Amino acid sequence: MAKLSVDKVDLSGRRVFLRVDFNVPVEGGRVTEDARITAALPTLQHCLNAGAALVLASHLGRPKGKPDPRYSLAPVATRLEELLGQPVPLAPDCVGEEVRNRASALGSGQIVMLENLRFHPEEEANDDGFARELAALADVYVDDAFAAAHRAHASIDAITRHLRPAVAGLLMARELQALSHVVGAAEHPLFAILGGAKVSDKLTLVESLLARVDGLLVGGGMAFTFLASLGHGIGRSLVEPDKVDAARAVVERARSRGIPVRLPVDVVVATGVDDPASARTVAIREIPPDMMGLDIGPTTVAHFKAALGGVRTVVWNGPMGVFEKEGFAAGTLGVARAVSESSAFSVVGGGDTIAAIHRAGVTSRIGYISTAGGAFLEFLEGRELPGVAVLDDA
């Protein structure tokens, strides 16, 4: 069901509670990576140009339900000021009398950013009273935080009981359009590339994808559980023993449907992630018992690239190795380039995967880059996302 978007609502002279996901990395009091902030700028600018006043709300990190200066949104407000070229004052809290006064004093085109929502345990508890306080700050609710849409939190779910209309921001609308295309209207052949550390994080997704994809390419730590399920020795590589049978069942189910599941044929092994000097590339059947696989090898990258030939749609989530370590990033970067060089429409999601796309310098050649991780996966699994379900239908 399509959701009503913010560009279809009259905002002139109204206060907008804009839920964004500005959960970005901060070091030394400065934002070090601002992709999620820049992704929300079109919605912010639309609201301001339409004559609205903006009450911005976000979480940052996991402050465990109490104020913690390490998780203040002050650096985020500073960065947003730089990007917008106008003041973005930070309120001392997200609820309370002073916050209500600041919100009510806003004029058309002005902004206030609320302090971290997760400084209150009621946010993650989806508390109705807390949500009512947030709702009292504005006249319209706009959710542009697709990356948090899988969380039934007060600023995402309960607030909509007290503040309507409740509509999708422009980023949210784009996310829903792109992912709905993959789920329901993708051109075939459709291939999925899955990586990351654990099969348990992706098992539901894999089982869901088997109903709609024409091929699976599996790398990252999760590949070793699949390899173990097929009888390969994997040395000290990451494995989830309790998921070996499930991995084997996935492979068998895929084969019965004629869906190829391509696993690594070579890997980069080392004695550990902090010993890149010991790294070397070996075939899957030659992993030494005292070493661990930490990246896919160049032959695997070539095989994955060849598999994408003629594919019309590609969805990718999860790195192919310990991407954050220089000695084990080549496989992920190689797959990023392969996806970008494919003629397929590509949809990429997840923080590490997006970082790889940027690092490989191929951002402009990707069809759609999702800001989300968990929500991206749950949407592809076919789950209803709380933050989407509560929005007004178009």
**Given 136, 171, 206, which residue is the final one in a domain?**
171
Residue type, position 349, single letter: G
Question: At 318, which CATH number?
Answer: 3.40.50.1260
Same domain? 56 vs 88: yes
Q: Which residues does the annotation mark as catalytic?
A: 36, 198, 351, 374
- How far, in Å, are 75, 117, 270 from residue 34 at the CA level? 11, 19, 33
For residue 235, being part of any structural domain is answered with yes
Predicted confidence (pLDDT) per residue in 95-130, tens digit: 999 999 999 999 999 999 999 999 999 999 999 999
Same domain? 78 vs 190: no
For residue 292, being part of any structural domain is answered with yes
Check residue 187 and give its pLDDT: 87
For residue 77, being part of any structural domain is answered with yes
Same domain? 333 vs 268: yes
Check residue 304 and give its pLDDT: 97
Coil, helix or strand for 136? coil
- Positions in the chain short of pLDDT 70: 1
Check residue 104 and give its pLDDT: 96
For residue 144, being part of any structural domain is answered with yes
For residue 387, being part of any structural domain is answered with no
Same domain? 136 vs 190: no
Same domain? 154 vs 216: no
Same domain? 155 vs 197: no
How much is the pTM? 0.85
Same domain? 187 vs 166: no
Same domain? 153 vs 185: no
Q: Which domain holds residue 374?
A: 178-380
Residues 124 and 150 sit within 8 Å (Cβ to Cβ): no
For residue 368, being part of any structural domain is answered with yes
Predicted confidence (pLDDT) per residue in 301-326, tens digit: 999 999 999 999 999 999 999 998 88
For residue 389, being part of any structural domain is answered with no
**Given 171, 191, 218, which residue is the final one in a domain?**
171
Check residue 1 and give its pLDDT: 57
**Given 110, 141, 171, which residue is the final one in a domain?**
171
For residue 338, being part of any structural domain is answered with yes
Same domain? 250 vs 191: yes
Check residue 145 and give its pLDDT: 95
Same domain? 120 vs 185: no
Q: How many domains does the chain have?
A: 2
